[in-house]
Amino acid sequence: MNRLAFNCLKHFILALVMLILQYSCRLSVAAGDTLSMGASLREKQTIISKNGTFELGFFSPNGTNKWYVGIWYAHISVKTIVWVANRETPIRDMPGLFTLSSTGYLTVSDLQEKVMWSSNNTQQTKASRASILDTGNFVLFGAQNTSEIVWESFGDPTDTRLPTMKLWKGMKVNSWKSSVDPAPGPFFYQINPSPGKTDLIMQYKNGILYYSTGEWTGKYFANLPGTQWTGNIKLEFVVFSPTKMYYTYKVEPKASTMMLRNVLNWNGQEVIYSCTDNNSWTPIWYQPRTSCGVYGVCGPYGVCFTQANIESCRCMEGFHPRNPTAWSSQEWWSSGCVRRTPLNCAATNGSGSGTTDGFLQVTDKSLSDKEPFQIMSDSTLRGCKTACLNNCS
């Protein structure tokens, strides 16, 4: 090989090595609990809090090929997710990248470098590093003031509140869409947005109110005297003004080894879970007491029932799920049920004669106060049937 060819080969190899080093540096991860500026996480890379409790990285719910960036308990065998970044925009082709960009913002991107999520939407100041804390809070520290927190996962919650997390007036906790889909579901709760109000309100769908804790009394919520724990949990509600206040809870020092999480489940129940053996969770408080107590949880023409202590939904007789896929995912409220056979009342011109429509008596059910009713002089079952057959609406 002549000298010219040798020099060309040497420069090519050197350029290739530099390119590989640059790519490796882009994917490098700061050791331990911190992401430095320009560093990224890939599929099997994680960072872990100093006390080893919380871990952050990519995860995929069972039975799906969708990938999210989230936070979970590092040493619990069943992965328990407490926060999700790109909950509405999963990555379908791994590996993706979770990066603290050189511009000082967090991003989740796919192989084509399409940004699926960014902290830029709520982050006001650029960051220099990101750390997962022992509390489970993932925080960004400022570029100008390196001790200033400029963004935190506690300020952008999904379905879970951890001890010491402050739920400020104006923040919402939103359930998952289903047990395997962290996209925002129909259930959410918040401090009552009305000025001066100190109750927590739970809503679903388009903001329909179905539950309120009652006003804060100074020790507990008026409708929930059971929240006046004298044991291992301390509640705190701090009011600065009619529009600025927060609610939080803490684990008492005597129970410092107990792990707690407050979750708004995808079925519309708020549950506090306790874990003392680092392996399993036990519900110690929940509200509403029953999912079937939430109006419309099964959607139009759906019936909520309990069997073997498991609450579920079914369609009323003569009806079937409007969206079988949604129902198989237990998203009953999203579509409800539709008639198997259309009514032929209209074909009889409302006369009620010659119709094949019939009736079934349904007990122990309630109707919404938004349902239209007609007051009849004859309130017997026969009178009700006649009135319905003569009025197709």
266-302 pLDDT, tens digit per residue, is 888 899 999 877 678 988 888 877 777 666 778 888 8
- How would residue 392 be classed by pLDDT, with cut points 50, 70 and 90? low
The answer, yes or no, to whether residue 76 has pLDDT greater than 50, is yes
Name the H helices within the chain: 3-26, 324-328, 381-389
Range from 14-18, 78-82, 379-383 carrying the lowest mean pLDDT: 14-18
Burial class (CB in 10 A: 0-12, 13-18, 19+), 357: middle
52 falls within a domain = yes
340 falls within a domain = yes
The pLDDT value given to residue 368: 47
42 and 140 assigned to the same domain: yes
Q: What is the average pLDDT value for the chain, to the nearest integer?
A: 82
Report the Cα 173 to chain-centroid distance in Å: 7
279 and 196 assigned to the same domain: yes
Q: How far is CA 204 from CA 34, 173, 193, 371, in A?
A: 37, 12, 15, 18
More confident residue, 368 or 387: 387
The answer, yes or no, to whether residue 246 has pLDDT greater than 70, is yes
188 and 220 assigned to the same domain: yes
177 and 134 assigned to the same domain: no
Residues 135-149 pLDDT 10s: 999 999 998 888 899
Per-residue burial over 67-81, b = 16 or more CB atoms within 10 Å of its CB, e = otherwise: bbbbbbbbebeeebb
Sheet holding 167-168, edge to edge: 167-168, 244-251, 233-241
62 falls within a domain = yes
Which CATH number goes with the domain that contains 32? 2.90.10.10
CA pair distance 142, 121, nearest whole angstrom: 16
The pLDDT value given to residue 3: 57
Range from 8-12, 16-20, 297-301, 356-360 carrying the lowest mean pLDDT: 16-20
The pLDDT value given to residue 21: 38
Sequence-ordered list of residues with C-beta below 8 angstroms from that of 352, at least 6 positions apart, any chain? 345, 386, 389, 390
313 falls within a domain = yes
Q: Answer whether the bond into residue 253 is a cis peptide, omega within 30°.
A: no
168 and 281 assigned to the same domain: yes
CA pair distance 40, 108, nearest whole angstrom: 9
Domain boundary among 109, 129, 156: 156
The pLDDT value given to residue 280: 83
Domain boundary among 128, 156, 184: 156
The answer, yes or no, to whether residue 238 has pLDDT greater than 70, is yes
The answer, yes or no, to whether residue 218 has pLDDT greater than 80, is yes
Q: What mean pLDDT comes out for the span 50-77?
A: 92
Q: Whole domain around residue 86: which residue ranges?
A: 26-156
More confident residue, 77 or 48: 48
128 falls within a domain = yes
84 and 142 assigned to the same domain: yes
CA pair distance 323, 335, nearest whole angstrom: 6
3-state helix vs strand vs coil in the chain, percent to 5: 15, 35, 50
Cα atoms in the Cβ-side hemisphere of radius 13 Å centred on 202: 25
140 and 191 assigned to the same domain: no
Neighbours of 382 (CB within 10 A): 8
107 falls within a domain = yes
196 and 248 assigned to the same domain: yes
The pLDDT value given to residue 327: 84
- The answer to whether the beta carbons of residues 6 and 12 sit under 8 Å apart is no
Domain count, the chain: 3
145 falls within a domain = yes
168 and 253 assigned to the same domain: yes
Q: What mean pLDDT comes out for the span 43-68?
A: 92
Domain boundary among 138, 156, 174: 156
128 and 247 assigned to the same domain: no
- How would residue 155 be classed by pLDDT, with cut points 50, 70 and 90? very high
The pLDDT value given to residue 286: 83
Q: What mean pLDDT comes out for the span 153-175?
A: 96
The residue count for the chain: 393
18 falls within a domain = no
- The answer to whether the beta carbons of residues 195 and 242 sit under 8 Å apart is yes
The answer, yes or no, to whether residue 336 has pLDDT greater than 80, is yes
What tokens were used for 302? 């759906």
Neighbours of 110 (CB within 10 A): 19
Range from 39-48, 126-135, 191-200, 360-369 carrying the lowest mean pLDDT: 360-369
This prediction has a pTM of 0.74
336 and 276 assigned to the same domain: no
147 and 245 assigned to the same domain: no
